[in-house]
Amino acid sequence: MEEKELSKLKPIGVFDSGYGGLTILKEILRLLPQYDYIYLGDNARAPYGTRSFDVVYDFTRQAVEELFSRGCRLVILACNTASAKALRTLQEQLIPDKYPDHRVLGVILPTVECLPVITKTGHIGLLATPGTVKSHSYKLEVAKIDPEMTITEVECPMWVPLVESGEFDGPGADYFVKKRINTLLEMDPQIDTMILGCTHYPLLLPKIRQYTPKGVSILAQGEFVARSLENYMKRHSEIEGETSKGGSVQFLTTENTDKFDSLASLFLGKDVISSRIYL
């Protein structure tokens, strides 16, 4: 009986292809520190952004099922590429077929929902991975919220590799950051709001700020996703009531733990000790 009661309490799963989801986790921990979390970074197979739909779906499904098997009932895809390419199929097929009591949420909708209060010109820029851009998920969601809003999308294929290799603050990053921001603003000079549509990109924020004109708001997603999760928990007492509240975070990576621990500690500003898993 006691065992059953204990096993009922579930941590929240947070998944990304690598380090990017830590920028989301950081904000979630700031707003909702009471819950227990399991973070999973599939660093061994990152980046996902240049992979096909099928591959991103398979990798994401494996990670989500791994988190379910570790007791999570709710998993956040803290990755735009996975949200763009895998979320819908997970929600419409995997969950109803195999895990009807489980839930998976993404990061695109919470980001798009905040646009109307931020933009004045209605001209939005999106910087994202090739996968997210090609899916046009942002365009589709924005059109549902406000068909008058325009969104210009630019792929940044080098930005995730810069972060994953720890080169996000090195001089080599300047060239690629500047180039993509300039391309975006040349395509639509009326852009007043620029979405960082990849959870890795906030790690490049000092450089992104350096090359973005003052009047353009830079939107990192962490805060919006955290607020949306808070809201979700308020609306879903059946999930909230079963979420364990020990304030802990367990870190899992599919790559070498030493590298993960040192970069993740840097990003989160606290010591991280991860375990290696194989998907």
CA 60, distance to chain mean position in Å, is 12
Can you count the helices (H) and strands (E) in the chain? 16, 10
Confirm or reject binding of residue 110 to ligand DGL (CB under 6 A).
no
Confirm or reject binding of residue 199 to ligand DGL (CB under 6 A).
yes
Out of 73, 85, 102, 200, which residue is the one contacting ligand DGL (CB under 6 A)?
Answer: 200
Alpha-carbon distance 181 to 126, whole Å?
Answer: 10
Is residue 161 reached through a cis peptide bond, with omega within 30 degrees of 0 on the bond before it?
no
Nearer to ligand DGL, 10 or 105 (CB): 105
Least Å from the CB of residue 150 to ligand DGL: 22
Quickly tell me which residue has 């197979």 as its tokens: 45
Q: Report the 10 Å Cβ neighbour count for 257.
A: 17
Out of 12, 13, 17, 67, which residue is the one contacting ligand DGL (CB under 6 A)?
Answer: 17
Alpha-carbon distance 115 to 111, whole Å?
Answer: 7
Q: Under rule CB under 6 A, which residues in 155-194 are in contact with ligand DGL?
A: 160
Confirm or reject binding of residue 111 to ligand DGL (CB under 6 A).
no
Span from 16-24, 25-33, 64-72, 181-189 in contact with ligand DGL (CB under 6 A): 16-24
Q: Under rule CB under 6 A, which residues in 240-269 are in contact with ligand DGL?
A: none
Nearer to ligand DGL, 27 or 243 (CB): 27
Out of 63, 64, 87, 198, which residue is the one contacting ligand DGL (CB under 6 A)?
Answer: 198
Q: CB–CB of 71/47 below 8 Å?
A: no
Span from 30-38, 47-55, 237-245, 248-256 in contact with ligand DGL (CB under 6 A): 47-55
Q: CB–CB of 251/257 below 8 Å?
A: no
Q: Which two tokens stand for residue 210?
A: 């350096």
Q: CB–CB of 24/107 below 8 Å?
A: yes
Nearer to ligand DGL, 11 or 197 (CB): 197
Where on the chain is the footprint of ligand DGL (CB under 6 A)? 16-18, 20, 46-49, 79-81, 129, 132, 160, 198-200
